[in-house]
């Protein structure tokens, strides 16, 4: 878990990731290892316990980076980092066929996640995304 109060998460959508997990895992780990995010970043790859009420459904699978926002810098630097992240996710979508959900998490409110948008087949509105992040971290 990152120590930041405000965290941007970008997870692959779906719980049937087995066919693309190796590619996603490699790309996300590389993204984090190469410090492509200007602050703290952590790769998450967690398969949850199966839900006994839905025995035929695959368990939830969280896979993607958690990106700290508290020490990214001013709004221009944060906007550039978010744009770079979205560009990375678009390329990863082209390679894997998967869409990615972007959402905000808050250390002081672990039960709260603000879904922002998905990145994939449809163009992502980076300006709107940056505005939403700015409103949520104030």
User: What is the fold of 6-137?
Assistant: Alpha-Beta Plaits (3.30.70)
| Mean pLDDT confidence for 21-26 | 97
What is the value of pTM for the model shown? 0.93
**pLDDT of 138 strictly over 80:** no
Q: Is the dihedral of CA 95, 98, 99, 101 positive or negative?
A: negative
How confident is the model over 26-80, as pLDDT tens digits?
999 999 999 999 999 999 999 998 888 888 888 889 999 999 999 998 899 999 9
* 72, burial (CB in 10 Å: exposed 0-12, middle 13-18, buried 19+): buried
Q: What is the pLDDT of residue 59?
A: 83
Whose CA is closest to 134, among 78, 59, 58?
78
Rounded to the nearest 10 degrees, the angle between the axes of helix 126-137 and helix 75-96 is: 130
For residues 4, 7, 37, 48, the Cα torsion angle rounded to the nearest 10 degrees is: 110
């Amino acid at each position: 878990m990152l120590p930041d109060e405000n965290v941007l998460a970008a997870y692959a959508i779906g719980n049937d990731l087995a066919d693309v997990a190796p590619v996603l895992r490699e790309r996300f780990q590389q993204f984090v290892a190469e410090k492509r995010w200007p602050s703290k970043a952590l790769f998450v790859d967690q398969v949850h316990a199966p839900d006994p009420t839905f025995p035929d459904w695959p368990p939830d699978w969280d896979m993607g980076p958690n990106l700290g926002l508290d020490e990214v810098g001013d709004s221009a630097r944060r906007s550039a980092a978010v744009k770079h992240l979205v560009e990375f996710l678009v390329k990863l979508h082209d390679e894997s066929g998967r869409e990615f959900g972007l959402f905000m998490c808050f250390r002081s409110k672990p039960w709260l996640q603000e879904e922002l948008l998905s990145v994939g087949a449809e163009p992502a509105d980076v300006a709107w995304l940056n505005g939403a992040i700015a409103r949520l971290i104030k």
